[in-house]
């Protein structure tokens, strides 16, 4: 069982990420993944992030299920399958310190792409959907952050905002399941024992975040929520890189 301060920080991250996801459609992975990696290490932190996403997306999907484009969600999840396998192999092969650095770099790159990508040309065909699916699946399994790839695709395809935010939830849920299954099957979970503390920490903060997000949805714009989630993700990404570097220095000492 981790120390109470770790559980407290994890709970704050979960509440923040879930609140932002309720407002803007995405946020749990971006906020929670780098924080969990910083607290628990590379593979364990991403596994914890995947479990959190599974719970939060399941809860939010109940509310938005009628707005989901199930056909598009099915196509993206089918394409994410090989990406998830590739991501699980990366988690299996990379040492913990290097994995933390890779995750931090992926998060920072995702933040930069999401934040500073200019107006993109209209590109909505099978190739765009397929590339997005594979990248999102790989990033979600490796780093717990599928949202940036999906957001870039939404800009390319001019995806309707309301439908996009709803459809993200089964995508996050399905990719979290893929990630957990493949990493468990390959022995790349990063846990020496079942992550009981996640089951204690996550559900109540997820509920609180969803309730808070519902209240803020009418007051906070999607753009403001996205900016906050990107800022927090950037800080967490830097912290994950720092943890990895310190781990390499300690290993070399």
Percent of the chain scored above 70 by pLDDT? Answer: 83
Q: How far is it, in rounded angstroms, from Cα 57 to Cα 76?
A: 16
Q: How far is it, in rounded angstroms, from Cα 200 to Cα 202?
A: 6
Higher pLDDT among residues 125 and 17, named by residue: 17
Per-residue confidence band for 167, with pLDDT thresholds at 50, 70 and 90: very high
Q: How far is it, in rounded angstroms, from Cα 223 to Cα 231?
A: 12
Q: How far is it, in rounded angstroms, from Cα 54 to Cα 178?
A: 10
Average pLDDT over residues 244-248: 75
Kindly report the pTM of this predicted structure. Answer: 0.80
Q: Which of 33, 146, 27 is nearest to 83 (CA)?
A: 146
């Amino acid at each position: 069982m981790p120390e109470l301060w770790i559980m407290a920080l994890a709970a704050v991250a979960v509440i923040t990420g879930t609140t932002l996801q309720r407002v803007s459609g995405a946020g749990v992975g971006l906020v929670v993944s780098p924080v969990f990696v910083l607290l628990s290490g590379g593979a364990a932190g991403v596994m914890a992030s995947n479990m959190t996403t599974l719970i939060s997306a399941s809860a939010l999907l109940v509310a938005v299920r009628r707005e989901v484009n199930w056909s598009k969600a099915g196509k993206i999840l089918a394409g994410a399958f090989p990406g998830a396998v590739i991501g699980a192999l990366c988690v299996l092969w990379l040492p913990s310190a290097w994995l933390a650095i890779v995750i931090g770099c992926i998060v920072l790159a995702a933040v930069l792409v999401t934040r500073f990508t200019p107006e993109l040309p209209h590109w909505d065909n099978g190739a765009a959907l397929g590339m997005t699916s594979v990248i999102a699946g790989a990033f979600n399994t490796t780093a717990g952050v599928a949202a940036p790839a999906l957001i870039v695709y939404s800009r390319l395809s001019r995806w309707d905002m309301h439908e996009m935010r709803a459809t993200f939830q089964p995508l996050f849920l399905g990719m979290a399941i893929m990630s957990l299954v493949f990493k468990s099957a390959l022995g790349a979970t990063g846990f020496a024992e079942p992550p009981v503390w996640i089951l204690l920490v996550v559900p109540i903060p997820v509920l609180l975040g969803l309730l808070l997000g519902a209240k803020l949805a009418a007051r906070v714009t999607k753009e403001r929520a996205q900016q906050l989630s990107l800022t927090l993700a950037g800080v967490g990404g830097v912290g994950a890189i720092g943890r990895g570097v310190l781990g390499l220095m300690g290993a070399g000492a």
